[in-house]
Amino acid sequence: MVSLKLSSFTHLFSSPSTTAISYRSPVILRRHHPFAARFSAKITPAETKDRVDNSKNRVPDRVITPRSQDFNAWYLDIIANAELADYGPVRGTMVIRPYGYAIWESIQDYLNVKFKETGHSNMYFPQFIPYSFIEKEASHVEGFSPELALVTIGGGKELEEKLVVRPTSETIVNHMFTQWIHSYRDLPLLINQWANVTRWEMRTKPFVRTLEFLWQEGHTAHATPEEAENEAKQMIDIYTRFAYEQAAIPVITGRKSKVETFAGACKTYTIEAMMGDKKALQAGTSHNLGQNFSRAFETQFTDENGQREYIWQTSWAVSTRFVGGIIMTHGDDAGLTLPPKIAPIQVVIVPIWKKDDEKMAVLNAAVSVKETLQSSGVKVKLDDSDQRTPGWKFNFWEMKGVPLRIEIGPRDVSSGSVVISRRDIPGKQGKVFGVSMEPSILEAYVKDKLDEIQSSLLERAIAFRDSNIVDVNTYDDLKAAISQGKWARGPWSASDADELKVKEETGATIRCFPFEQPQGSKRCLMTGDAAEEVAIFAKSY
């Protein structure tokens, strides 16, 4: 038996503030319902009334709070209704349900390929880390101490040394690197692990900030500082491309300020995403660790001249937080809206019949359509269950964010065609009648529409982001922009103390110094001194 001694964290179980979300609160994930097959009850568009009677599909107590009314409640309602996650028995933890985990698997599938293409190998490190390892790097222990979970008893006995439940793995990785790296021939060493992490958070929000979460963390060792810097930038570029090309999230990529840099790193690069409530979400980071950890752990190698040198390192990670980012970027009042490239189901087929003698022909046509699309690589689901009406199914799969819905009824079978509806365009504008069932035509049409949806979601998110970033030249301008819920972008060369003042007075932090910088001379918005870069300020999760 292993017990966690958490006496130093008792304050974390006190009642949260009005902005905090406690996993014991009856609000989180249960605003209108317990987790148990509760769905959105949005009425289907008027043009389908002749196809199904929707009056019996409405379930008034299973609604999603309007996004404009209460963004946080809307977010939690979607997680509940779309069956993405549920409570864990320990405050601040969550159980990721199959549909939520399938989205995470889509993220894994893309990144695993990219990691291996760039020479990285997957491996795994223990989740229990000796506390003495954490203490070796001063800024690291200072940065992580408030979030640590410690194991003090194992097998019924007090442990000689307390163990940290993995908050991140730089320390244990360095311990092992010291044993594996001896010569320049052992470099570079490029590894990644998919693992769980524990950080004892005070304020929790499903997927965005939980006591335990899933992530990948890459760790690399190099012979030169230039190699380490190139690696750190290469990995943030991979995250950026994933965000744009797969998740349809137009992140801003840049460098963190010194105040916001990862504990133990020389530089931190980040991708910052604007959520639907205009708060920033740090969606991924890549750290140039320099020699901070190698010096702490004496991780050295013999170079080509026979000299002993410390290695140069990086670490980089994205987590299940990205799932929350996808929800908050693309979702609407009807539920999830998933980009096709990461959707677990890209197309759902809903067969429609009223009479028993219609059923077999409709189902046969539906199965044929499913096989056509599956054989062409489309992820398709045939919902042929008898327990629910077609209208209920429309609402359910719309709420789960499936990009395309195909409806097949007796008239469609007779005409050899189907009806196709887009999730991203509600109502009759997104519905097309009479699409041919002929395999080559249907396959091409569906793939074309999936590509259109992917592009449309990105374009919509870019327009939203750009319309909510304000260029500022003075501190008063910055405060005005933040008070309006916007992001503020302006020249910055002020001190760390000035940066902390901005945070204290406005609640906003420097999200990053973007890689893309405007040309020309600039004056710091705070001090009036010359500034080489603009920074982006925003409130964040």
CATH number for the domain harbouring residue 269: 3.30.930.10
Shared domain check, 387 and 287: no
* Residue 433: C-alpha distances to residues 32, 69, 436 (Å): 36, 34, 9
Residues 290, 211 share a domain? yes
Q: Which CATH number characterizes residue 528's domain?
A: 3.30.110.30
Total-model pTM = 0.88
Q: Are residues 131 and 247 in the same domain?
A: yes
Could you tell me if 170 and 219 are in contact, meaning their C-beta atoms sit under 8 angstroms apart? yes
Query: What's the total number of domains in the chain?
Result: 3
Residue 489 lies in a domain: yes
Let me know whether 290 and 387 are in one domain.
no
Q: E strands of 457-508, at which residues?
A: 469-471, 487-491
Q: Which three-class secondary structure state does DSSP give residue 123?
A: coil
Does 321 map to a domain? Answer: yes
Identity (one letter) of the amino acid at 473?
Answer: N
- For the record, the structure tokens of 480 come out as 């005005």
Say yes or no: 264 and 358 in one domain: no
Compute the distance between CA of residue 122 and CA of residue 167 in angstroms, rounded to an integer: 19
- Tell me how far CA of residue 65 lies from CA of 247, 335, 347, 457, 515, in angstroms: 24, 10, 26, 22, 37
Neighbour tally for 154: CB within 10 Å: 14
41 within a domain of the structure (yes/no): no
pLDDT digits (tens), the chain, 541 positions: 333 433 332 232 233 333 333 322 323 333 333 333 332 333 333 334 444 334 344 433 458 999 999 999 999 999 999 999 998 999 999 999 999 999 999 999 999 999 999 999 999 999 999 999 988 876 666 767 788 999 999 999 999 999 999 999 999 999 999 999 999 999 999 999 999 999 998 889 999 999 999 999 999 999 999 999 999 999 999 999 999 999 999 999 999 999 999 988 999 999 999 999 999 999 999 999 999 999 999 999 999 999 999 999 999 999 999 999 999 999 999 999 999 999 999 999 999 999 999 999 999 999 999 999 999 999 999 999 999 999 999 999 999 999 999 999 999 999 999 999 999 999 899 999 999 999 999 999 999 999 999 999 999 999 999 999 999 999 999 999 999 999 999 999 999 999 999 999 999 999 999 999 999 999 999 999 999 999 999 999 9
Residue 316 lies in a domain: yes
Domain boundary among 298, 330, 362: 330
pLDDT of res. 201: 87
Q: What is the per-residue pLDDT across 418-475, written as a single tens digit (0 to 9) for each?
A: 999 999 999 899 999 999 999 999 999 999 999 999 999 999 999 999 999 999 999 9
Indicate the residue among 305, 330, 355 that finishes a domain.
330
- Looking at the fold, whether 323 and 351 belong to one and the same domain comes out as no
Domain of 412 in residue numbering reads as: 347-450
Q: Tell me, yes or no, whether 438 and 351 share the same domain.
A: yes
**What does the chain come to in residues?**
541
**What strand order describes the sheet that includes 534-538?**
121-122, 189-198, 212-222, 312-319, 280-290, 267-274, 252-255, 509-514, 534-538, 487-491, 469-471
| Terminal-to-terminal C-alpha distance of the chain | 36
Q: Is residue 461 part of a domain?
A: no
Enumerate the β-bridge partners of residue 510: 537
380 phi, psi to nearest 5 deg: -125, 145
C-beta of residue 311 within 8 angstroms of C-beta of residue 187:
yes
Q: At what angle do helices 225-245 and 98-117 cross, to 10 degrees?
A: 140
One domain, residues 145 and 189: yes
Give the CATH number for residue 369: 3.40.50.800
| 354 falls within a domain | yes
Q: Are residues 162 and 200 in the same domain?
A: yes
Between CA 420 and CA 427 the distance in angstroms is 12
Residue 10 within a domain = no
Residue 488 · residue 481 · CB < 8 Å: yes
| Same-domain status, 220 and 319 | yes
| Whether residues 176 and 274 fall in one domain | yes
221 and 315 together in one domain? yes
CA distance 53 to 81: 22
In a domain, 446, yes or no: yes
